[in-house]
Amino acid sequence: MTPGKGALRKAALLEAAEFVLVTSGNANATMRNFAAAANVRVGHLQHYFPTRSDLMQAVLERVLQRSLAQLREVSGVDLDSGGDAPISPVETGRIVGALLDQHADPATVRLYVEIWAMAASDEEIAAVLRGFYAHYAGYVELIVKRAQPQLAPGARVAAANSIVALLEGAAVVRSGFAGLRSQGTDNELLAAVQRLLHGQ
């Protein structure tokens, strides 16, 4: 299905917002700068995204959907339509490997770092970020449920949150910011996540 004009305009605005964050940083993350990067007036931007937090929420949702599409392509597992079908360690290994591979994209890592920095001084952005991570953890919880269907709901949530914490921390320390990436580290991360997923 071909996207309509409104969807294309929103996509262009989100692309511009990502560009500003990645190239100019959170200090320049103003509605005026986002609009200028998209070559539109601020009023046009605010027609689609009334506030900066609305825009950041849409940016994060776009990044999450892009990540899920990459996971489907690489792992063959569709988290949106997989139901409760059991998931094997081989399948989860492909999923986790694909997530770790996404850390190799400096633009994506920088995007998260800049939004985290915004959230440190802007409570509305912090609320958006909390919502994003709750959504992200919800997808991970689906994987845990399929890997360990007998696990109690509270334990499932704890495992999912721990996996998200591991992967997000890994994104920073394995990137160019900290430079702690190695095959050995990747193997240990994969093993740790697999233990949380499969309880072994």
What is the per-residue pLDDT across 94-118, written as a single tens digit (0 to 9) for each? 989 888 888 888 888 899 999 999 9
| 49 dihedral zone (left: phi>0; alpha: psi -120 to 50; beta) | beta
Confidence of residue 63 (pLDDT cuts 50, 70, 90): very high
**DSSP 8-state assignment for residue 26:** G
Percent of the chain clearing pLDDT 90 (strictly above): 65
* Domains in the chain: ranges and CATH: 1-50 (1.10.10.60), 53-198 (1.10.357)
Q: How confident is the model at residue 80 (pLDDT cuts 50, 70, 90)?
A: confident
Structure tokens at 29: 């993350």
User: Alpha-carbon distance 101 to 171, whole Å?
Assistant: 10
pLDDT exceeds 80 at position 78: no
The pLDDT, as a whole number, for residue 72 is 84
Q: How many CB atoms lie within 10 A of CB 2?
A: 5
Alpha-carbon torsion angle 111, 116, 122, 126, nearest 10: 110
The whole-angstrom separation of Cα 197 and Cα 191 is: 10
Integer Cα distance of 167 and 190 in angstroms: 10
Short-list 105, 119, 17, 9, CA closest to 59 = 17
Of all residues in the chain, the percent with pLDDT exceeding 70 is 97
pLDDT over 80 (residue 140): yes
- pLDDT computed for residue 67 by the predictor: 87
pLDDT digits (tens, 9 = 90+) for 154-199: 999 999 999 999 999 888 888 766 777 788 888 999 999 999 999 9
Q: Which tens digits make up the pLDDT trace of 40-50?
A: 999 999 999 99
CB atoms within 10 A of CB 11: 13
Output the six-digit token pair for 36: 């200028």
pLDDT tier for residue 70 given thresholds of 50, 70 and 90: confident
How remote is the C-alpha of 173 from its chain's centroid?
16
Work out the number of other CB atoms within 10 angstroms of the CB of residue 39. 9
Using alpha carbons, select from 27, 98, 11 the residue that is nearest to residue 59.
Answer: 11
Read off the pLDDT of each residue in 136-148 and give the average, rounded to a whole number: 93
Higher confidence at residue 17 or residue 72?
17
**Helix, strand, coil distribution of the chain in percent, nearest 5:** 75, 0, 25
Q: Can you give the pTM of this predicted structure?
A: 0.88
Per-residue model confidence (pLDDT) at position 145: 93
